[in-house]
Amino acid sequence: MGLIHTLLFTLIALGVLVTIHEWGHYWVARRCGVRVLRFSVGFGKPLLLWKGKDQTEYAIAAIPLGGYVRMLDEREGEVPPEWKSHAFNNKPVLQRIAIVAAGPLVNLAFAVLAYWFLFVWGTQVVIPKIGDVRPGSPAALAGLQAGEEIRSVDGFPVQSWDQVNLRLARHLGESSVLVIEAAEPGRSTRSYTLALNNWVVDLERESPVTAMGFQPWRPQIEPVLGSLLADGRAVAAGLQTGDRVLSVNQETVTSWLDLVERVQASPEQPMLWWVERQGRQLELEVVPAGREEQGVVTGFIGAGVQSGEWPDEMLREIRYGPFTALKMGFEKTGQMISLTLDSIRKMIMGVISVKNLSGPITIAKVAGDSAASGLETFISFLAYLSISLGILNLLPIPMLDGGHLMYYMVELIRGKPVSEQVQLLGVKIGMFLLFSLMALALINDLARL
C-alpha cells in the first residue's frame, strides 16, 4: 500500500503541474493565432488520444516526466500556404516570447494561488520556542537561551520553525551578522547578534535551525511503540504496537529519545527489555541490528513511536482574509523564488553542495510523505515544486523554455534570428547539461536510499 500510495500522489503532483505548465503555452499560442497540433501530458506512446473541436490532438502518454505542446512550425515540416500565417515560426518575436514564457509563468501563478488557498483555509504551525541551545554554537555564543520564542530573523517577523528555517537558509555560505529577536513568555523582546563566518551547513544531515544551534522545543514523548517493520528486530523479539517500554537492562526508560539513544548505542548487543502490554509486564530480549551512518555503526530495531499531541499553547493558526491572503501568497511565492535562485547561485559557486540536488525518487518520496501528512502539506509541496519547475524552465539553458527565450531576446535586439548553426550547438550543450544534472540528481537519490 505504501508504494501504491507514493506512486499515486507522485502521478497526481506531476500530472497537475505538467498540465498547467503546458496549458500556459497552449492558451497563449491559441490567443496569438498559432495552430496547436498536439497537447500531450507525458512523453512516449499515447495511452489516451482524442481530438478536440479545435482539431488539436490531446494525449496522455506513458512516461509522466513532462509534456509538450506541438505547434504548427515550418522548421518541423511542410506547411500548406493557407496555414503559413498560423505557424509558430512566422509569428512576431514578441508573440513567440509570450508563448514560451507562459508555461513557467503559469507555474509561478499556480504557486500564488496555492499559497492563497492555504492562507485563507488556515494552517496550524508550531510556535518557534527554543527547547535547547547547543554549547559553542552561533546561537549559544550570541546568548540565546532555552525557553525563548523567536520573534524575528533579520527584521522579518516569524511565526513558525518553517519560517525561521527559510530566513536562516538565506545566510548559507555567508560571513555576516545576523540579528534574531526572541522573548521569554511574559517578558519583553530582546535582540541577539550572531556572527557568521563562512557558515556552511550539510543540508542532508541537518537543517539551518539545528546547524545554528537551536533544538526546537518538543513535548515529552512517551516510550510507546506506534509502528513496527515486519522484518525488523523489534518484531523478531516479540514486541507489539502499543507496548510501553519501562526499562532496558534494569535502567528506567524516561522518554522515547532515551530509548532511541540506548538502541543506537547497542548494535548487535542483547538488551533486556521490560514492557507493559495491556496491564501486564513482560520481559523480552531485543538485539538491535547494526547499520553504518557517516562511518559510525548504530543500532536500530525497526520501530516507530506512537504519535503524541502538541499542547494547545504551542500551536498557532495562521489565517487571513481573501485579499490579505492574496498579498501573502505573492510574498510567499516571491520569497521562495528568491531562495531558489540564491540556492542555485550558491551551488554554482560551491557554497552549497551539489549533493542537495534531488531527482524523481526524492520527489516521489516527498510527494507520498506530504500527502500522508494531510491536504495542507501536500498543497504546500505542490506550490514549492511548481516554483522549482517554473524557475528551472526559465534558466537560459538551450532545450528549456529559458533557452528559447534567450534566442528570442537576441533576435529582438539584433533584428534577425539566431543562426541555425548556433541553435544546433546550443541544443548539444543543453542536452549535455540537462543529462548531466539528471544523472547527478539520480545518483544523489540512490545514495539517499
Verify that 128 and 261 share a domain, yes or no: no
- Domain final residue, candidates 291, 318, 345: 318
3-state secondary structure of 137: coil
In a domain, 29, yes or no: no
pLDDT at 448: 67
Average pLDDT, the chain: 88
Verify that 116 and 130 share a domain, yes or no: no
pLDDT at 55: 85
Q: What percent of the chain has pLDDT over 90?
A: 43
- Domain final residue, candidates 276, 305, 334: 305
pLDDT at 1: 44
In a domain, 261, yes or no: yes
In a domain, 340, yes or no: yes
Report the CATH number at residue 262.
2.30.42.10
In a domain, 17, yes or no: no
- Flag the least confident range among 89-93, 195-199, 364-368: 364-368
User: What distance in Å separates the CA atoms of residue 60 and residue 44, rounded to the nearest whole number?
Assistant: 9
In a domain, 414, yes or no: yes
- Flag the least confident range among 133-147, 157-171, 355-369: 355-369
In a domain, 299, yes or no: yes
Verify that 294 and 334 share a domain, yes or no: no
Verify that 188 and 259 share a domain, yes or no: no
Verify that 425 and 398 share a domain, yes or no: yes
pLDDT at 201: 78
pLDDT at 294: 60
Catalytic residue among 22, 148, 149, 181: 22
Verify that 182 and 204 share a domain, yes or no: yes
- The answer for residues whose C-beta is within 8 angstroms of residue 284's C-beta and 6 or more apart is 237, 238, 239, 272, 273, 275
Verify that 329 and 435 share a domain, yes or no: yes
- Domain final residue, candidates 250, 276, 305: 305
Verify that 348 and 409 share a domain, yes or no: yes
User: 372 falls in which pLDDT band (50, 70, 90)?
Assistant: confident
C-alpha distances in Å from residue 142, one per residue of 101, 114, 137, 273, 297: 46, 37, 9, 42, 34
User: What distance in Å separates the CA atoms of residue 381 and residue 366, rounded to the nearest whole number?
Assistant: 8
Please determine, for residue 439, whether its predicted confidence score (pLDDT) is greater than 90: no
Please determine, for residue 117, whether its predicted confidence score (pLDDT) is greater than 80: yes
Verify that 378 and 409 share a domain, yes or no: yes
According to DSSP, the residues that pair with 38 across neighbouring strands are 57, 70
3-state secondary structure of 420: helix
Domain, as residue range, for 116: 93-122+321-449
What digits encode the pLDDT tens for the residues 292-337? 766 678 888 988 887 777 888 888 888 999 999 999 999 999 999 9
204 in active site: no
Domain tally for the chain? Answer: 3
pLDDT at 369: 79
Verify that 270 and 292 share a domain, yes or no: yes
What digits encode the pLDDT tens for the residues 374-427? 888 899 999 999 999 999 999 998 888 999 999 999 999 988 888 888 888 888
Sheet holding 271-277, edge to edge: 251-252, 244-248, 271-277, 280-286
**E strand or H helix at 370:** helix 360-373
Sign of CA dihedral 231, 364, 370, 11: negative
Verify that 270 and 141 share a domain, yes or no: no
**E strand or H helix at 341:** helix 322-349
Verify that 184 and 256 share a domain, yes or no: no
According to DSSP, the residues that pair with 305 across neighbouring strands are 225
In a domain, 430, yes or no: yes
Q: Record the pTM.
A: 0.82
Please determine, for residue 209, whether its predicted confidence score (pLDDT) is greater than 60: yes
